[in-house]
Structure 1
Amino acid sequence: MASSTLWWSLLLLVVVCNGGGAFGKRILADDQQPGFDQNYVITWGGNHVSFLDQGREIQLSMDNSSGAGFSSKLVYGSGLFHLKIKLPNKDSAGVVTAFYLSSNSNNHDELDFEFLGNVEGMPISLQTNIFTNGQGNREQRIVLWFDPTADFHDYKILWNPYHVVFYVDEIPIRVFNNLTSNGVEYPSQAMNIIVSLWNGESWATNGGRTKINWADAPFTAQFQGFDVDGCAQGGSGAGSCASPGLWWNAGEYKELTPSQAAAYERVKNDYLTYDYCRDKARFPVLPPECSIKNT
């Protein structure tokens, strides 16, 4: 683990020095962060929410009576969306911490980070999923190269006309390219930013076989970084949010940098534990994007 951590530290330095850290310039320093109330609102489980550091940190808790969640006040048609998250520790089997974008429609679009808790000492899985026009089933799972319960890490979703990229700190862990020219639907509906801590014991750990140990409740997750770099709109489509004048739509964010691409290959080779595009038992006929270069 020590050598792996050193490798990632050196790679992260290379990514930042070669332009992969440009997002870091866009995201405000901790002392410049807006308070929670500027961009977000509690949506459920209000008595399981704590406001810390004058609203610059939020803690959600879950016990056997309720979890909690919050959402952005506005909907967005493109942007770079991020939160710093510290996950529940100890025995968190069955506990799901979610950070995602979702449209408010029946045939919805959705971009998911889902952290699947585990028994103490076992790795927490980070699952990503992508819905377009109500169709999901595009799960990928990785294990992280650090303990996500020990400290805050920055989780980001870049959504622009070219691709959706999921990042852990500055490292890309998943890319979903815009393949509409090949007949593959791409997220196009305006979406809210949504965060929740909830009971997923029916499926989240060992396929639902490992249940929540309520003796360890309450389970808590902390969140920081409530600034939003996104194209806010009142309509239902992306529209002008595809404008090249928005910094996250600029040419430099059309594809990964060479150092980011190298880091992404390392993630796929060493940390990817499930990919729907490799699950032929589940998909005898693989989804069309699986047969197209979609790095």
Structure 2
Amino acid sequence: MSESWDASSMPDQSGKTVVVTGANSGVGLEATRAFARKGAHVVMACRSVERGEAAKAEVREDVPAASLTVGELDLGDLGSVRSFAEWFGGRDLPLHVLCNNAGVMAIPRRETADGFEQQFGVNHLGHFALTGLLLPHLRETSGETRVVTQSSGVHERGRIDFDDLHGEASYDKWDAYAQSKLANVLFAYELDRRLGGDADSADVRSVACHPGYADTNLQRRGPEMAGSRIRLWLMKAANAVLAQSPEDGALPMLYAATAPDVDGGDYVGPGGLMNMRGPPEKQRSSDRSYDESTARRLWEVSREATGVTYALSAPS
């Protein structure tokens, strides 16, 4: 990693197709803009097509030649995830990079359309299902392809509570968020282990990343849903003082998706103050994120919950 690495340092992406979930705002929007500047065709997977089209128009103001397509994807609805995968398959496109970026953070307890606690359902289970359904396209695409799963530094406080995954007995919004973000890293590593044991997937890499502390709408949604003006004001004040821009927050994901020195199973984040800001670098995630028995159990629970089966064997 170079201390001067930024979006302009990305290799040329001409001829590549990238799917970015949550592409209409924040880090996802800035990653879309950066990929488009480098010549990639970006599929903007958004819960709201209307907001996705508005974001697409915004990117084209900066990058007139941007190649962009908006697709409807609600990660909180497995039916929508399957519909998006079928829609993408019908477009006969290659798939070079899947950026599992969208998420919700520290919200009051809600359930997805399938009855999952929303943070675990959207942040982890929705992306688990999406990746499994799009994996054939990643495997069939010529050359190296990557799955990049966005986590958070908050994963370090996370634990997977298999006895109460969906917070039905007890719910704390930050514990639930931390659990979902730990699940992201466990999934990324377990996926890479399984890919490594499959000859047909030798060119697919799975990488985890985190954006540090970026000023996006992600932090605002929880206070807004709770109707707390004080918490919303405090969050805005903290963002103004501590957070880096969404453009900088997108750099770890861009680095994980495109840098030639990235290997499967890597974890990328900002290398500056307390790993909250700064240029991207490879880092070590929490000790719990490397627990292979937990990762295997989470994989099986996720497979059963989503009904999505990967054609990959568990590592021996």
Q: TM-score, normalised by structure 2?
A: 0.34
If each structure's strand is expressed as a fraction of its own residues, which one has the higher value?
1
- TM-score by structure 1 length? 0.35
